[in-house]
Amino acid sequence: MNFINNWLRSDIQSINAYHVPVSANMVKLDAMESPFPLPDELIRQYLAYLADAQLNRYPSASAEELQQTLRQLMGIPEDFGVLLGNGSDELIQLLALACQADDIILSVEPSFVMYQMIAKFTRLNYQGVDLDENFEIDLPAMLSAIETHKPKLIFIAYPNNPTGNAFERSTIEKIINASDAMVVLDEAYYAYADDSFLTDIAQHPNLVLLRTVSKIGFAGLRLGLLIGAKETVAELDKLRLPYNINTLTQVSANFLLKEKDEIDKNAKIIIAERAKLSSALNAINSVQVYPSQANFILFKAQNANELFEFLKQKGVLIKNLANAPKLTDCLRVTVGSSEQNAQFMNIIEVFYG
């Protein structure tokens, strides 16, 4: 046995690293990224703006200017606190670090895999509650799990990843009111959804929201944010590593996220393309499409594994969930540009003949 196997925790050795597939020279519709590059004119302005970045200095520790930029972009009231992270993943981990050893993280399944992975990394216990056959929250089962396990954290993706649906508001309200846990609503796809719990933070001291700029066109910035009551954010900030948002991310985001009209326009395009793509998929007898309020669509397909490989051979990469628990024969496609979506559909139509 080599050194690392002797040294490393056995539970870490037993898990697989988060897998990112090779995607060079492919139409990339697997990771819920925006299909829209920066306009040429904006690129020129952006590069000029970057020239003033002081890379010899540490970044702003509090990133106050960036916080204000995000408040204006997302309509976050000044009454709420904002905590920034190197992507939402860092903030999920930060929340887990605030717990005591052996506390329980509760979430629904299937959902975002990082809730369970980070629970394991931080030596917390994870409890999943199965969604029903329509990928909706089974409220009696959820309330029973809360009563039985008394979780410290409850994570709910709203809309949910990988299913794409937004759960019933009344169901989530009942969960918030039924528990002493901190309820974390992960609104990564807020820009494409009909509803948000942003203003509800004022009525629920145990509610915090997560958001990210990754799904609105800036995945490369690795920037997430937690929104909650000011006193909650002030305490959680003690766990944030110093200078966690680097200078290039701060400078870039301060410039690019001020383009609210462009960001909103692109979100509306994706919503319209989502409706067209969903209709096109629904027209294929071998496919069952699930409703989505995100920038992706989950669908069940006959011969799903073969379809996934056929798409790859034709240069289109989507997410294969066909062998995942509770997602048998399911695939997930990011809503791309009109041209990308048409290419994707053409290949599917050829596959099913």
* Dihedral pair phi/psi, residue 122, rounded to 5°: -100, 15
Q: How many CB atoms lie within 10 A of CB 294?
A: 28
**Can you give the pTM of this predicted structure?**
0.96
* C-alpha to C-alpha distance for 294 and 133, rounded to whole angstroms: 19
Q: CA-to-CA distance for 121 and 315, rounded, in angstroms?
A: 35
Cis previous bond, 110, omega within 30: yes
Please report, in tens digits, the pLDDT of each residue of the chain (353 residues total): 699 999 999 999 988 888 888 888 999 999 999 999 999 999 999 999 999 999 999 999 999 999 999 999 999 999 999 999 999 999 999 999 999 999 999 999 999 999 999 999 999 999 999 999 999 999 999 999 999 999 999 999 999 999 999 999 999 999 999 999 999 999 999 999 999 999 999 999 999 999 999 999 999 999 999 999 999 999 999 999 999 999 999 999 999 999 999 999 999 999 999 999 999 999 999 999 999 999 999 999 999 999 999 999 999 999 999 999 999 999 999 999 999 999 999 999 999 98
Tens of pLDDT, residues 222-259: 999 999 999 999 999 999 999 999 999 999 999 999 99
The one-letter code for the residue type at 288 is Q
- Tell me the C-alpha distance between 293 and 309, whole Å: 27
**Nearest residue to 155 via CA among 193, 190, 113:** 113
The residue written with tokens 């909103």 in the block is: 264
4 DSSP β-pair partners? none
What pLDDT, on the 0 to 100 scale, is given for residue 16?
86
**Contact indicator for 317, 311 with CB cutoff of 8 Å:** yes
Output b/e per residue, 224-255; b: 16+ Cβ within 10 A. Answer: bbbbbbeebbeebeeebeeebbbbebbbbbbb
CA distance 210 to 186: 5
- Which domains does the chain show, CATH number per domain? 3-30+261-352 (3.90.1150.10), 56-258 (3.40.640.10)
What is the tens place of the pLDDT at every residue in 15-41? 888 888 888 899 999 999 999 999 999
Which residue carries 């887990």 as its tokens? 96
Residue 12 CB neighbours (<10 A):
10
Nearest to 188 by CA among 69, 116, 293, 47: 293
Q: For residue 22, what pLDDT is reported?
A: 86
